[in-house]
Chains A and B, each alone.
Chain A
Amino acid sequence: MKTRLPLPLHLQYWDLFLIELSNWRWGWRNLALTGTVLPLFGILLLGSFARELGAYALSFVLVGNLVMALLFEHMGKLISHFAYMKVAGSLDYFATLPIRKNVLILAASTAFFILFLPSLVVVLAGGAWILRLELHIHPLAFAVVPLCALPLAGIGALLGVSFRTPEEASAAGRLLTILMLTIGPVLIPPDRLPDWLVWLGFLSPATYAASALRQVVLGPLTSRLLLDFAVLAGCVLISFRLVDRKMDWREG
């Protein structure tokens, strides 16, 4: 009779990451289409309005659409994924294996982020070309981009398991996405927004994600990046802590 010890955490992570990454087998067409085509259309549409306002406004269009893609595609996919896992019994399967819940969430988040990365690159390059913006990609982008994605992934996982059906979870996710896009200077420059909306934006992680992304892909870097970095890192810690505490994969 064999009883075994759980795998070390890094091996748990690697297995779960590969399991989650295998979702490309069914999801790549969807990811390519909605993760690339929709944001590029958004850039085309909003860019035609913002062109006469100059490069500063266009930078918000480009980065705002990147954030929108992150919210709709990355967070949205994780909401659907966790909601489906709950309904299909996959969470029961994982719950009866000797693995850590937060390792599963981290593995799913990173796997879906990697699946989303090609779309992000295409949208960035295509959007810059459409808007005739010059990209100045700073090496810090390799740290900032995952940092923007991870807190959204944590929120996505939490929403996915908190609602009774995938439909309810997706609806809540869409509502949250719209709220995060509209409060704060994400798609629209702050000088075009009422003050109260700018101030309210300080409560939204999307504001800090947009600010950090703008600096690392278009430049210049300012001291504001430190604040953005700190807030996003804090959001990662808080969201994963929250998911770990609140996400009970037992029913009732």
Chain B
Amino acid sequence: MKNRSNSVYSVSRLTKTYPGKDTPANDDISFNVQQGEIFGLLGDNGAGKSTLVKQMANLVRPTRGSVNLYGRPVQEEPLLVPRFVGYMPQTARTLNSLTVSEALYFTSHLRGCGRQESNCERERLVQLWELHDIRTELCSRLSGGQQRLLQLAAAMAGQPPILILDEPTNELSPQRRRHVWETLRAENSKRGTTIIFITHDAIEAEKIIQQVGIMRRGRLAALGKPSDLKKQLDQQLRLELRFQPESPPVLPLGLQPQKLSEDHWIVRLDQHQVEAALSGLDFSRIDDFQLHSATLEDLYLHYT
């Protein structure tokens, strides 16, 4: 892999096999993340995504390969990642004995902000993530979603130039999820923050992802811009149908659905089939339908 000069992260032939395991958690992974890029990692559960970001955050020692941050190996300089990266772990049970406000203040201060600056940073983050109502609550008493927002705020405390976020929208309501993606996009365009994240929320994440890596069984199955990868998929359109399970729709002859669940199908259509398919459907038996071109979720399903 070519190490371009504006690469923030350069991952080369990275492999991790945990002690006592036969198969590697991730295997021979190489990619670069550019300065100011939003890099999304998609993949099935157990595909090795969390191991990969933990290796990038220098929390897991690689079996083989290297991770360079600004051209320097993260393993050899213990303070390299802490100085430049804000990391949000997948679990959200840290700092349980502190209040939300204290957690944000201490994280900012420990990242090197002065006392006054840490107070300002705390106020900024409370405002940004709408944490006013819970600022005096103990972290241990927060709901899963509130813990998630606090972890996001803590990762951003002190405005590190790089964020690594492990499933930032897990356990969040749809409104909160949207707020997360909008805030991350704003953070990226306003400050040029490089953002690397793992998500299963491919449809929402598509709005901000600039480069995507799709992992399958520990390997990088696809890597590139979402628009370039989509071109490699077929040019079919997707007709999504939602309906009551006891009365599924009758499809026009020749169309076969992909049954995602008992009340949710996807039908792939060539362009010339669209009109006939829509006119042949009995809409009284359909709760909702969407017609769209290939999405990031289709890419995800295709490669995993």
Give me the interface of A with B, judged by CB distance under 8 Å.
Answer: 1-7, 11-12, 15-16, 18-19, 22-23, 25-26, 88-90, 92-93, 95-99, 248-252
Min CB gap A251→B, angstroms: 5
Tell me the residues in window 104-133 of chain B with beta carbons closer than 8 Å to chain A beta carbons.
106-107, 109-113
With beta carbons under 8 angstroms apart, the residue of B79, B91, B106, B193 that contacts A19 is B106
A26 to B83, CA, bound (A): 31
Given A92-B59, A252-B19, 11 more pairs with CB closer than 8 A: A1-B159, A5-B83, A7-B112, A26-B97, A93-B94, A97-B110, A98-B83, A98-B110, A250-B58, A251-B59, A252-B18
A251 to B21, CA, bound (A): 14
Min CB gap A42→B, angstroms: 29
CB neighbours of B19 from chain A (8 A) = 252
CB neighbours of B159 from chain A (8 A) = 1-2
With beta carbons under 8 angstroms apart, the residue of B16, B90, B95, B106 that contacts A90 is B95
A18 to B158, CA, bound (A): 19
Q: Check B206 for interface membership: any CB of A closer than 8 A.
A: no
Asked, given contacts A19-B98, A26-B97, A98-B111, whether A88 binds B91 with beta carbons under 8 Å apart, the answer is: yes
Question: Is B82 in contact with A3, judged by CB distance below 8 angstroms?
Answer: no
Question: Is B87 in contact with A98, judged by CB distance below 8 angstroms?
Answer: no
Question: Is B112 in contact with A6, judged by CB distance below 8 angstroms?
Answer: yes
A116 to B173, CA, bound (A): 42
Query: Taking chain A's interface residues, is the majority helix, strand, or loop, or is none over half, making it mixed?
Result: loop
A249 to B191, CA, bound (A): 31
A233 to B229, CA, bound (A): 63
Min CB gap B16→A, angstroms: 7
**Count of A-B contacts with CB under 8 A?**
110
Question: Is A6 in contact with B83, judged by CB distance below 8 angstroms?
Answer: yes
Question: Is B96 in contact with A26, judged by CB distance below 8 angstroms?
Answer: yes
Question: Is B61 in contact with A2, judged by CB distance below 8 angstroms?
Answer: no
Question: Is B87 in contact with A92, judged by CB distance below 8 angstroms?
Answer: yes
**Which residue on chain B has the smallest CB distance to residue A251?**
B60
**Which residue on chain B has the smallest CB distance to residue A99?**
B110
Q: Check B11 for interface membership: any CB of A closer than 8 A.
A: no
**Which residue on chain B has the smallest CB distance to residue A22?**
B97
Question: Is B54 in contact with A18, judged by CB distance below 8 angstroms?
Answer: no
Tell me the residues in window 139-198 of chain B with beta carbons closer than 8 Å to chain A beta carbons.
140, 154, 158-161, 191-193
With beta carbons under 8 angstroms apart, the residue of B16, B83, B95, B112 that contacts A93 is B95
Instruction: Give me 7 A-to-B residue pairs in the complex whose CB atoms sit less than 8 angstroms apart, sorted by A's number.
Output: A2-B158, A5-B112, A18-B106, A89-B90, A90-B94, A92-B87, A250-B58
Asked, given contacts A96-B85, A97-B107, whether A252 binds B191 with beta carbons under 8 Å apart, the answer is: no
**Which residue on chain A has the smallest CB distance to residue B80?**
A98
CB neighbours of B96 from chain A (8 A) = 26, 88
Q: Check B218 for interface membership: any CB of A closer than 8 A.
A: no
With beta carbons under 8 angstroms apart, the residue of B54, B57, B91, B110 that contacts A15 is B110
CB neighbours of A250 from chain B (8 A) = 58-61
CB neighbours of B59 from chain A (8 A) = 92, 95-96, 249-251
A2 to B107, CA, bound (A): 15
With beta carbons under 8 angstroms apart, the residue of A16, A89, A251 that contacts B94 is A89
Q: In the complex, which of the residues B16, B59, B84 has the most CB atoms of chain A within 10 Å of its own CB atom?
A: B59
